[in-house]
Amino acid sequence: MKEQLRLDNQLCFRLYTASRLITQAYHPLLSGIGLTYPQYLVMMVLWEQDAQPVNDIAKRLYLETNTVTPLLKRMETEGFVSRERGASDARQVIVKLTEKGRELESKASCIPFEIAGAVACRSITEKSAPELYRTLDDLISALSK
C-alpha cells in the first residue's frame, strides 16, 4: 500500500473525526436548551451582533445561504429568531433574535466551559489553545480561497 494513502497519514481524517466527536460532545448540552449544533452556531453569530442579513450569517459560518435558510426557518418556527424583509431592499432578509433567543444566551453561557473541560488533554490546554486556533484559522483561510 502506498504510504500517502494510509488513513493514519490523512489530515482530513483527523479533522473529520475531531469535528464529529466535538459535535457529539455538544449534543447533550445543546439538547438541554433546545438547540442543534448548527442552530447554536447561528445563535452565537446573532448574540455577537443581532439583526443580520441571511447572507452575512452564511458568510460568517462559511456556509451557503441555501444551507442556512431552512435552518433559520426552523429556528423561527421554534421562536428563537424572526425573519423580515429589509427596509431598503426587499430582496434582503434580516434575521433578528426574539426575546426567547436572547434569553437563551444566558442558558448557553456555561457550554464553552463544559466543552473546554471535555476536550482538555495534554496537547490542548488553555495556554496552547490560541496557537491551535491560529493554525486552524490559517487552514480555513487557505481552503476558503
Q: What is the CATH number of the domain that holds 72?
A: 1.10.10.10
Range of the domain at 81: 36-104
What pTM, to 2 d.p., does this model score? 0.91
Half-sphere exposure of 117 (CA within 13 A, CB side): 5
Q: Is residue 131 part of a domain?
A: no
What is the distance between the alpha carbons of residues 127 and 116, in angstroms, rounded to a whole number? 12
Residue 128 lies in a domain: no
- C-alpha angle 61-13-34 in degrees, rounded to nearest 5: 45
Q: Rounded CA gap, 35 and 23, in Å?
A: 12
pLDDT at 88: 78
Spacing of C-alpha 35 from chain mean position = 12
What are the two backbone dihedrals, phi and then psi, of residue 127, each rounded to the nearest 5 degrees?
A: -75, -35
At 116 the pLDDT is 86
- pLDDT at position 55, please? 96
CB distance 70 to 64 below 8 Å: no
Q: Is residue 15 part of a domain?
A: no
Is 139 a domain residue?
no
The CA distance from 1 to 136, in Å, is 30
* Number of domains comprising the chain: 1
- Residue-wise pLDDT tens digits, 80-134: 999 998 777 778 999 999 999 999 999 999 999 999 888 877 788 888 889 999 9
**Residue 49 belongs to a domain:** yes
The answer as to whether 62 is a domain residue is yes
CA distance 77 to 99: 14
Please check whether residue 124 lies inside any domain of the structure: no
In a domain, 42, yes or no: yes
For the cut 80, the answer to whether the pLDDT of residue 68 exceeds it is yes
Closest CA to 74 of 42, 106, 104, 52: 42
Please, are residues 75 and 86 in contact by the beta-carbon 8 Å criterion? no
